[in-house]
């Protein structure tokens, strides 16, 4: 006959299984409800989307493999190290990439021989 100890173990095992099924079901429901492929769905769940960088509205039928993994990792590190939100971390990442390619943070070329027209 089952004792109280066995009953408690069985109860918590059922609770854990139901919780895991709920998390799995909810994740699949979110990805299917917004009709993104799995990779963009994972990017969305990882926090790589914002009002200014909307993954949902422009990627309904996109078959690509999501966002670039190397860039995502660098942005994630910036977010964690500098305690920034996604938009600010993405801006800092782009400014660093600009600097590596000879472009000022405002988008103008840093080459002294470059000719630009305008103000």
Per-residue pLDDT of 63-111, as tens digits, reads 676 678 888 889 899 999 999 988 999 899 989 999 888 888 888 888 8
Confidence (pLDDT) at 93: 92
User: CB within 8 A of 63, min separation 6: which ones?
Assistant: 37
Confidence check: pLDDT of 59 > 90: no
Give the separation between CA 63 and CA 109, rounded to whole angstroms. 34
> 57-87 burial, b if ≥16 CB within 10 A, otherwise e?
eebeeeeeebbeeeebebbeebbeeeebebe
Q: Which two tokens stand for residue 99?
A: 């600097």
List, for residues 41-58, the tens digit of each pLDDT value.
Answer: 777 777 787 878 777 766
Query: What's the whole-model pTM score?
Result: 0.58
| pLDDT number for residue 43 | 74
């Amino acid at each position: 006959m089952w004792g109280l100890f066995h009953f408690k173990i069985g109860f918590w095992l059922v609770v854990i299984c139901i919780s895991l099924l709920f998390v799995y079901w909810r994740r699949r429901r979110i990805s299917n409800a917004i009709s993104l492929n799995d990779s963009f769905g994972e990017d969305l769940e990882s926090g790589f989307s914002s009002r200014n960088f909307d993954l949902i509205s422009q990627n309904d039928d996109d078959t690509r493999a999501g966002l670039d993994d190397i860039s995502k990792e660098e942005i994630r590190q910036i977010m964690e190290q500098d305690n920034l939100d996604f938009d600010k971390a993405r801006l800092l990442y782009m400014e660093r990439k600009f600097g590596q390619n000879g472009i000022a943070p405002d988008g103008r070329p840093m080459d002294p021989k470059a000719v630009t027209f305008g103000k």
